[in-house]
Structure 1
Amino acid sequence: MKNLDWNDLRIFVRVARGGGLSAAAAELGSSPATVGRRMLALENVLGRPLFVRRQTGYELTEHGRMLLAKAIAVEASARPIEEWLEADDRRATVRISVGTWTANFFTENFARLWTPSDPFRIAFKTTEAKLDIAHREVEIGVRNAQPDSPNLAARRTGEVAQAPFRARNRPGAQREDWVAITPEDRATRSANWVDAQPGITIAAWANTPRTLHDLIRAGVGKGVLPCFAGDRDPLLERAGGTIEELREGQWIVMHNDDRHRREVRTVIDRIVALITAHSALFAGERPFGEG
């Protein structure tokens, strides 16, 4: 049957054995609502009612009992394959969409996000563009705005401040121009903010945030960076106060269904704990050398 999702059979067995949605959801690391939707989808594909739904739980129909016997046989036949995959160390992957500087911060603190004993791996998708969480391009995104899709959920972590930075060892008498992102590569509010400033001179352009940072470090000019990036670099110093019109909130965004997966929930909790522990740094309240 081409429309049958075999993973639904696995869920069905757990619902049947547990007598309801909650026990199955807990075992699968999902939500009762998601498990319930999968069972409705399975019944629709098979064209047969599998459960009598009561307030006290789910009771199998005659069709449900027949399917359970067959599904248990399928599960038993699949066990050698699962054991082979486990022996091959195939773990689930949690994909995280982040910008350049968040990726840099996360990689420096990777031990706070993942340990070798975790039954999953982390894959960073570093881009200034917003990957599509609703259509499962990634499981988690770090965003500067709340999602507007009903399929997405979010947890606020705090605020992110931006400021101009210059090279710390730059001669004081030297003329101070700016470095900026090229017009065709602007994807952030900070890049557009620099372009909107009147009367400034651009000494050099960069097409990526990392190259922009390298130009600032080399003393070519000053440029705008998130405070949590610039203030962590001992070779940089503030070239002015925080730019209040660029201050914005930060959210961890995930799909409503994926957030109930155990590995996704674990990574989200660790990201929130990590950022919360460094909230002053993200908010621009910890310039380098000031504690």
Structure 2
Amino acid sequence: MSFKNKIQNWDDLRLFLAVAQEGGLVGAAATSGSSSPTLSRRMRHLEDTLDVQLFDRTSTGYDLTSHGRELLSRVLEMDGQSKSIQTWLSQLDHRPVVRVTAGFWTSVFLARHLRDISTGSTGPRIELLTGANFLNLSRREADIAVRNKVPDNQGITKKRIGRVSFAIYGSIEYCASHPDAFADHRYARCDWVVPSVAGGTGTSSFWLRQQIGGTAALICDSPQAVMEAAAAGVGLCVLPVFIGSSEPRLQQCSPPIESIEHTQWLVKHQDDGNLTHVRKVFRKIDSLFERHRESFH
């Protein structure tokens, strides 16, 4: 039998399932929340709509006809799919997402302090987008960005969040066996770990290549690999102070290098000012940098 375009009220099928499974109106009334007269009327309406008899009505209850059993098998499949969809919906996280883009080491800092910018199960979720090539806020590729240059895009709200300093670092063991690490001639007499051109993090990478030329002991394609190699004693490297000084395996070998320090800016699109979740995360990131301002120098 074909039901195409006949069923207008799918709730009738839910009630049909209750009557079929309970074998009568009384039991179905208890499980469906509908009264026996309502169930009787709705089953008659369903049969009229489908133009088939679904039940043999007896003194002991409602017995399914062959058409009724055929329909029941299909409704049971629908009920299973419905429960599957309900389970899927219950597992979805409906909280809004705030996309934050930043350079590699700033992203590491934000990840380490995620609890300070996220409000747990009730607040917005954070999507941390890492890369030296920042995503464009004007094209809405991100909601919030931390940048090391003053943004000149139209419609952008910016706030200065402090300076970032860089210094030379090496493992405690390497520095103990290479006292030149603490002297100005370190660039010619020590081993160096540098990022590749593609894996560099900006001005600091370019500056270091100018100091040592092509004499690096190791070239890595990610900033994390540079730090790990230096911590393992391969040689010296340049790191942001807020990263290098927080790594117990490393020792700072130089004062901050003034020529490569830069200012960080926290930016978002002006039109996002009415989005509570974006505004809230923006304020929390600003407060986070303010509390850790001394760590960046």
- TM-score tier by shorter-chain length is 0.5 to 0.7
Does the 8 A contact of 1:146 with 1:253 survive in 2? no
Give the direction of change, closer, same or farther, for the CA distance of 1:154–1:108 in structure 2 (3 Å limit): same
Are positions 1:147 and 2:151 aligned together? Answer: yes
Deviation per residue, 1:101-120 (Å, 9 max, x gap): 11211122111111224342
Does the 8 A contact of 2:155 with 2:270 survive in 1? yes
Cross-structure match for 1:116 = 120
Distance in 1 (CA, whole Å) between partners of 2:231 and 2:243 is 12
Pairwise CA distance, 1:251:
0.6
Distance in 1 (CA, whole Å) between partners of 2:217 and 2:103 is 25
Does the 8 A contact of 2:199 with 2:222 survive in 1? yes
Are positions 1:235 and 2:239 aligned together? Answer: no
Give the secondary-structure state (helix, strand or coil) at the position aligned to 1:159: strand
Does the 8 A contact of 2:200 with 2:223 survive in 1? no
Cross-structure match for 1:195 = 209
Residue among 159, 165, 174 paired with 1:161:
165
Structure with the greater alpha carbon radius of gyration:
2
Does the 8 A contact of 2:103 with 2:201 survive in 1? no
Are positions 1:220 and 2:234 aligned together? Answer: yes
Are positions 1:256 and 2:260 aligned together? Answer: no
Distance in 1 (CA, whole Å) between partners of 2:103 and 2:223 is 9
Does the 8 A contact of 1:154 with 1:252 survive in 2? yes
- The within-5 A match list for 1:89-128 is 89-128=93-132
Does the 8 A contact of 2:201 with 2:223 survive in 1? no
Deviation per residue, 1:187-213 (Å, 9 max, x gap): 500010011115673110011111111
Distance in 2 (CA, whole Å) between partners of 1:116 and 1:172 is 44
Does the 8 A contact of 1:178 with 1:200 survive in 2? no
Distance in 2 (CA, whole Å) between partners of 1:187 and 1:279 is 21
- The within-5 A match list for 1:1-291 is 88-170=92-174, 172-174=176-178, 176-198=190-212, 201-283=215-297
Pairwise CA distance, 1:276:
0.5
Does the 8 A contact of 1:179 with 1:212 survive in 2? yes
Distance in 2 (CA, whole Å) between partners of 1:250 and 1:275 is 10
Deviation per residue, 1:220-240 (Å, 9 max, x gap): 111110000001111111111
Give the direction of change, closer, same or farther, for the CA distance of 1:197–1:87 in structure 2 (3 Å limit): closer
Distance in 2 (CA, whole Å) between partners of 1:119 and 1:241 is 40
Distance in 1 (CA, whole Å) between partners of 2:198 and 2:108 is 24
Q: Which moved more, 1:202-211 or 1:257-266?
A: 257-266
Distance in 2 (CA, whole Å) between partners of 1:144 and 1:230 is 18
Distance in 2 (CA, whole Å) between partners of 1:182 and 1:209 is 9
Distance in 1 (CA, whole Å) between partners of 2:90 and 2:274 is 22
Deviation per residue, 1:103-156 (Å, 9 max, x gap): 211122111111224342111011121111110000011101111111211111
**Number of equivalent positions:** 200
Does the 8 A contact of 1:177 with 1:200 survive in 2? no
Does the 8 A contact of 2:104 with 2:201 survive in 1? no
**Larger helix share, 1 or 2:** 2
Distance in 2 (CA, whole Å) between partners of 1:184 and 1:127 is 11
Pairwise CA distance, 1:87:
8.2
Does the 8 A contact of 1:129 with 1:187 survive in 2? no
Give the secondary-structure state (helix, strand or coil) at the position aligned to 2:246: coil
Give the secondary-structure state (helix, strand or coil) at the position aligned to 1:214: helix
- Residue 271 of structure 1 aligns with an amino acid whose one-letter code is I
* TM-score (norm: length of structure 1): 0.64
* TM-score (norm: length of structure 2): 0.63
Pairwise CA distance, 1:88:
4.0
List alignment gaps of at least 5 residues for structure 2: 1-87, 179-188
